A and B are shown apart, each in its own frame.
Chain A
Amino acid sequence: MISTLQPPRSLSHFRSNPTLLLRYTSLKPLSSLSSQPVTHSTIPDQSQSPNPPSHSQILSTRHSLLSRHLTATQLAESFLTRLRLTEPHLRSFLHVSDSVLAQARELDEKIQRNEELGPLAGVLVAIKDNICTAEMPSTAGSRVLEGYTPPYDATAVRKIKELGGIVVGKTNLDEFGMGSTTEASAYQVTANPWDISRVPGGSSGGSAAAVSARQCMVSLGSDTGGSVRQPASFCGVVGLKPTYGRVSRFGLMAYASSLDVIGCFGTSVADAGILLHAISGHDRLDATSSKREVPDFSAQFVSMNLLESKPLKGLRIGLIRETLDDGVDTGVTSAVRTAALHLEELGCCVTEVSLPSFSLGLPAYYILASSESSSNLSRYDGVRYGNQVAADELNSQYMDSRAKGFGSEVHYVKRRILTGTYALSAGYYDAYYKRAQQVRTVIQKSFKTALDEHDILISPAAPSAAYKIGEKKNDPLAMYAGDIMTVNVNLAGLPALVLPCGFVEGGPAGLPVGLQMIGAAFDEGKLLKVAHIFEQTLQNCRFVPPLIADEVA
């Protein structure tokens, strides 16, 4: 396995501290953290209910800082401590920033001087490692970019920093986002905080696990075929894939340019929405970013005690029939059906809707994504940056640099490059790439029709809950099939939000199941509104993983 061969880079200093070598089964030192102020002030009103709904960590951070209940330094320290304690089990980070505390102290000085604070002041954000950061390595989980630090921040990262957010570090992923388990990282395998023998999903597995385990408050991921939504489902957090063009891709290392979007993770719908608002908007550095105005998503978050009995009355919801077919775990199906009932109780009119082209999505997706990736990954040639294997002859230099630079497990990066190169070759283009584009148009139209008749569509986020590390690693087709719930949305460019809606059996405390809500283009506001009400009214579910349950109890 990759992780046993390659020690984590930048995190090795954690291992040198013997007190941090904890066994997962005895996390006692963590509970000693419960006296830290953070657990009390960031989780308010716990006394009212045994299972309080998820609240916004971003808003409570702001409240704590402004009311001076907590300093930014205290907040940062408590998260860093938890990060250090949990990281040996999770390995969600490829790099942890060494300037978090310095930035927090700077912020505290600003607060002392009564200076105005940005909306993300003191918010600890983790960034998927395929998103460029100027002061930290950005490897996309690949050896080909080992040690590479970009000269610029991605637009989304720049915006987060400008609004006061503090970047905690860079999270693990499947190499270049190609994978569904985070096992295809060249550096380490990330574990699921709900059961560390299981995968966190992928490719944004590091970002999902980090938010789930409260190693940070929110995080950025990227979603080409489900890479934000599926790990959100596996890790029991909220994952938001915006409309294509809503968020600038500048600085996101391209996998498939026409499908890639940067997405958000949070422990609450509100946090995902606030983070999305922060990074959205036209960017003159991305010609595919939309000039549409970005609405204030937080206006959608109605307070719980102001909710009427049927807050979603009249909302038409379509449950996609094809997503409940054979091949979907019964536990998942029943959790989603229960969620549908819950939506009906909230006043929604839930009906089944058929998307006949649904099953065409997967093959079309794999052709288009592979074709674009074969082109996008051409720049990793070892000439200008990244790893180069010296050779006497130019072609050997190319071949050796790429053969050694890209992951040794052929069915991730290399298979996609080969598949894409083949699909674009003269004589095959019409049969593959062009046909896949036609399928894409059909899928877009069928979503359009379904969304003309429904406000939102719902489905599971994945056919199963988190599975065991290594379980599907050598079965690429099984892994590809796991993307069936999500890839159609990327092909249509639509926004979709995944939030935890229930559990299935498995692991020490059950495994979370995510509900996917799909909206019309640029209608993230409606998704956030519905999801927020769903989340606030969901009974008897609390999505804090056992790894940290004692602490955040």
Chain B
Amino acid sequence: MASTIFRSLHSHPFLFHPTALIRRKDVILYCTMRSAQTQTATQEKVKPQVKVSPHGTQSKALEKASKDYEAVIGIETHVQLNTLTKAFCSCPYNYGSPPNTSVCPICMGLPGALPVLNLKVIDSAVKVGLALNCKLSLNSKFDRKQYFYPDLPKGYQISQFDVPIATSGYIDLDLPLEFGGGHRKFGITRVHMEEDAGKLLHSEGGSYSQVDLNRAGVPLLEIVSEPDMRNGIEAAEYAAELQRLVRYLGVSNGNMQEGSLRCDVNVSVRPIGQLQFGTKVEIKNLNSFSSVSRAIDYEISRQVLLHSQGQDKEIVQETRLWEEGAQKTVTMRKKEGLADYRYFPEPDLPGVFLTTDYVDGIRNSLPELPETKRRRYEKMGLSMQDVLFLANDMNVAEFFDTTITKGADVKLATNWIMGDIAAYMKNEKLTINEIKLTPQELAELIASIKDGTISGKIGKEILFELLAKGGTVKGLIEAKDLVQIVDPAEIEKWVEKVLSENPKQLEQYRGGKTKLQGYFAGQVMKLSKGKANPGLLNKILLEKLNAKS
């Protein structure tokens, strides 16, 4: 059958139909704007001082007003799962493939085609559900969510409605110190499985749009938070923690730029003390954690301003778009009441039944999760800054853990990883898995410095050698003859040589200009090609300098 499909599809590799063209004015670009700015994992730092206010001149008044109001923020996150094939057919999905090259009758919604669930989607959903401390529905189902849009081939999206696979969980996270630090626990309302829609490509002239269905049918998890966040930073950190989690679990690459992790945030504002929520506004087009944070802070300011001016009626339930260039949110569409998606149970798919054995199997296969890791590192005596750095990336954490297992000192290993190794990775744009240094050799290096075989300075040189070219610490020390000189007689010879060659400075020193000790130490070290043990060197040098006075 495959060959038949290919034949008929290849005849129109891009447009199935000349009429896959839609007038642009009817179509609104949804969320997948590509940003030129690059994002490096979650270490993208949100600048805490950024506070955009709608009207600069009013910022003072606003600051005052904002003390009287509280923002309530909830987030809907779509996580694209990295299963080999789509949710309901055997098409692969690779980001950036030419349009409509990864499609079949099923994901194109051709007449007569039926969905068959990819069981890996359930595995991923259960993993995420467990990792988010959710209650799992052992008996859930799929539903159809119905609406018309050119990127939705069947006229409905296969999703889960009233019985999502996971509910009532929470996520723990630690705010970075630069944002005031502190531990937070945010509620998770639900996690459900659904399929992605295609993408619309708008023509340059704007007279028509084209449909790319490569992404149609790609599995998503929608994760809905409780409205527990109160500012942009908390929301951005929540998103970052979700990204960390799905990467730890290996269910998604969590890449925001590619749209593998998409956040839609709901923001409302209410006077402090009021129990009832204010009117919520949804914000889309958030392509980075910093835009999540900035868009929310902007939106809070906008709403607080309206409240403080008695214009809170101007806040309407609507979807607003974050404009990265202008750093503000603008109206995308106003909702007239709730959209009626006419959900009903998907008759083409049987119910999803989980056994406790299956769930236990998944539970036992889960890796150590970020929160557990952070608490463990904390107990090891590391500072929160160190903890957050190490636990941020599962591979860095694993590198660190292995280094420790090989006997390295915890604090020293942390310093090396966070210092020179991180700097090297950043400069060379490499991940920790791509550098040539192994945890074994890092442990060896730390041990060699600690036991005095090499000096710290030599250690650094060796480190860069190891990072770039690999090899072993022992091998490099031998090859380059870098073993530290700890023989007092040898050092004494160098000291004497330096003193005899610098009579003028010696005289000045003995005349009271004791600062010159550093100069002599440097000369001796230079003579030893850096190999003299600094402690011994200074001890002998002092003895000699002060001997004949």
Contacts and interface: CB of A to CB of B under 8 A. Distances in A.
A150 B108 CA distance: 12
A379 B1 contact: no
Given A138-B111, A150-B111, A378-B148, A384 B153 contact: yes
A134 B109 contact: no
Interface size class on chain B is 35 or more
B62 to A, nearest CB: 39
Contacts of A334: none
Contacts of A409: none
Contacts of A140: 111
A168 B392 CA distance: 65
A138 B211 CA distance: 24
A424 interface: yes
Contact of B148 (A249, A252, A258, A398): A398
A263 interface: no
Contacts of A393: 23, 25-26
Given A153-B1, A383-B22, A394 B150 contact: yes
Contacts of A158: 1
Given A258-B347, A375-B156, A398-B148, A131 B17 contact: no
Nearest to A388: B19
B350 A288 contact: yes
Interface stretch (B263-271, B338-346, B437-445): B338-346
A253 B111 contact: yes
A384 B108 contact: yes
A151 interface: yes
A424 B147 CA distance: 13
Contact of A287 (B5, B20, B116): B116
Given A152-B105, A257-B348, A378-B156, A383 B19 contact: yes
A381 B146 CA distance: 13
Interface string A250-262: 1111101110000
B86 to A, nearest CB: 14
Contacts of A394: 22-23, 26-27, 150
B7 interface: yes
Contacts of A424: 146, 342-344
A250 B114 contact: yes
Contacts of B23: 392-394
Interface residues of A, number: 55
Contacts of A251: 112-113
A378 B146 contact: yes
Interface string A45-59: 000000000000000
Given A152-B4, A433-B344, A381 B148 contact: yes
Nearest to B108: A384
If over half of B's interface residues share one DSSP class (helix, strand or loop), that class is named, otherwise mixed; here it is loop
A535 interface: no
Nearest to B27: A394
Interface string B73-117: 000000000000000000000000000000001001111111111
B181 interface: no
Given A375-B144, A378-B154, A253 B112 contact: yes
B109 A379 contact: yes
A72 interface: no
B452 interface: no
A372 B347 contact: yes
A394 B112 CA distance: 25
Contact of B17 (A153, A154, A285, A388): A388
Interface in B311-354: 338, 340, 342-344, 347-350
Nearest to B89: A285
Given A151-B9, A151-B110, A390 B19 contact: yes
A157 to B, nearest CB: 10
Contacts of A148: 111
B155 interface: yes
Interface string A368-384: 00011011011111111
A402 to B, nearest CB: 9
B111 A421 contact: no
B211 A383 contact: yes
Nearest to A135: B4
A115 B25 CA distance: 62
A395 B17 CA distance: 19
Contact of B114 (A286, A382, A426): A286
Please indicate which of the listed interface residues A288, A385, A398 has the most CB atoms of chain B within 10 Å of its own CB.
Answer: A385
A112 B483 CA distance: 90
A370 to B, nearest CB: 12
B8 interface: yes
A31 interface: no
A132 interface: yes
A251 B154 CA distance: 15
Interface in B148-189: 148, 150, 153-156
Can you list the 9 inter-chain pairs with the closest CB atoms, starting with the nearest? A378-B155, A394-B26, A151-B8, A257-B347, A258-B347, A424-B342, A388-B19, A251-B112, A253-B111
Interface of B: 1, 4-5, 7-9, 16-17, 19-20, 22-23, 25-27, 105, 108-117, 144, 146, 148, 150, 153-156, 211, 338, 340, 342-344, 347-350
7 contacts: A150-B110, A152-B5, A286-B114, A378-B155, A382-B19, A385-B16, A394-B23
Given A287-B115, A394-B150, A433-B344, 19 more contacts: A134-B4, A149-B8, A150-B110, A150-B111, A154-B112, A249-B114, A287-B348, A287-B349, A375-B144, A378-B154, A379-B111, A379-B155, A383-B19, A388-B17, A393-B25, A394-B22, A394-B26, A398-B148, A426-B338
Interface of A: 131-132, 134, 138, 140, 145, 148-154, 158, 249-254, 256-258, 284-288, 371-372, 374-375, 377-385, 388, 390, 392-395, 397-398, 421, 424-426, 429, 433
